[in-house]
Each structure stands twice: as C-alpha cells, then as structure tokens.
Amino acid sequence: MRSRDGNYSFSLRLLISFLFTLSLNAEEYLISYRYVVKDATIYNESLQISKTMKKCDGETYQPIILENDGSKNLKEIISKNDELFREYIHKIGLNVKHDETTKNHQNKSTTILTLKTKCFKVDINDNFAKIAPLK
C-alpha cells in the first residue's frame, strides 16, 4: 500500500510498529503435551498450559497462527484448532518412547509422545492467536 506521495515507507512503518506492539503485548505460557497409545488404541492425551511466573529467556522461532472467535482462554483456542496444533508441535519436536513385547504369541506395545514443558510467547486478539516457542 502506497502513501499519498507514492512511497511504500508509510505502510512499512505501520507494519513494523504493528509487529513491535504484538511482541510487547505477548504473554508467556508454559505448555506441555503427552499422548499415550497402547496396543494401537489411544489411551491418554493431556495438554497442560499455565502462565509463567517469571520471564522466559530466548528468541521466538517458527510461530503458528490459530483462528480465534474472541476467546481470551488459550486452552480453549487450542482445543478449537487441536489438529493444527498437534501437527505444529510434531514439527517443533516431540520425544518418542516406544516399547513392544511379545508373550505367548501376543504382541503388546506402548508409544508415548511427549512435548517437554516449553516456554511460548502468545499474543491473543479477537481474530487470531499467535503462538511461538522460545529457543
């Protein structure tokens, strides 16, 4: 978008100031996730979210933007976009533990996927929630 004098600098300054205010208004949350599958059946899934008590250190990377319908509750926003969020945490890294045993010709297996507690910067507004982990 050009300014009245035909330059793009106005819209660039507007965009930079918008992104800067997003980073200032962002809150920090600790998020952990655990998913257990036993014998090819989902056994347990848990998502833990809490606000940080002290400031986290680090730079953000690989943000995700989830749709929001005006909610201010992060767990509610993630639950409405659960499949997209699950794919996202798979990309940023999950620990996988798999155990398989055979006894009397019967197989038993357990797979546990875990996102260890990680600090995220979260900016929530009426239309979207931007979630970015910290390195």
66-106 confidence digits (pLDDT tens): 998 888 899 999 999 989 999 999 898 889 999 999 999 89
Helices (H), 1-135: 9-25, 74-80, 82-92
d(CA 63, CA 15): 17
Q: Where are the domains of the chain?
A: 27-133
19 Cβ contact list (under 8 Å, min separation 6): none
Q: Is the pTM of this model over 0.85?
A: no
pLDDT of residue 21: 43
